[in-house]
Amino acid sequence: MEKLVVLSLLILGLLMGNIQPNSYSLTIKIEGLENSEGTMVFALYNKKGSIPDQKFRNYYRKESVRIINTKSEIKFNNLSQGFYAVTVVHDENNNGKIDTKFMLPLPVEGVGFSNYDDFGLSNRPNFENASFKLNKDTTIVVKVIYK
């Protein structure tokens, strides 16, 4: 009888949308920013060819979060199993985009990508190198690089 009650509650939860099977969370942490000005933009990508994305047109989910004591963090919930990549921007002037130097694609604000400790003209980020498989609740730390 007890198993029947548990099973009934599980089915009811699925029907009501409260429980999603194979749904995971991704927590992204940022530490050691140069200052606490502006906001941190977190962009999550889930398909090949989606990054680099300087104007944030190809993201799957995107959020801006406060910076406190040179740290920031976000948690994306209800993610399906699959491959994801992360781009973060220390948006010091709160304009919602990656500012670059003149006509060069190098950013003037801090930028980071999952699986990247550094990047440049010869080491441009792409989805294949930045992606990771999400198949459980996961926490990652992304390094923010100032050029």
What would the two tokens of residue 55 be? 């104007």
Q: Is residue 51 part of a domain?
A: yes
Using left for φ > 0, alpha for ψ between -120 and 50, and beta otherwise, residue 145 falls in: beta
| 6 phi and psi angles, rounded to 5 deg | -65, -45
Q: What is the pLDDT, as a whole number, of residue 5?
A: 44
- pTM here? 0.82
**Cβ 51 vs Cβ 105: under 8 Å:** no
- Whether 9 maps to a domain, the answer reads no
CATH code, 84: 2.60.40.10
Whether residue 95 is contained in a domain is answered as yes
- 45/127 Cα distance (integer angstroms): 8
Residue 24 identity (one-letter amino acid): Y
Tens digits of residue pLDDT in 37-66 = 999 999 999 999 998 888 889 999 999 999
Q: Which residues of the chain have pLDDT under 70?
A: 1-21, 104-105
Is 5 inside a domain boundary? no
Q: List the domain range (segments joined by +) for residue 45.
A: 22-141
Does residue 2 belong to any structural domain of this protein? no
In a domain? residue 28: yes
**Structural domain total, the chain:** 1
Residue 97 within a domain: yes
pLDDT of residue 121: 73
**Which pLDDT value is given to residue 133?**
98
Residue 114, pLDDT score: 98
Max alpha carbon distance in the chain (Å)?
70
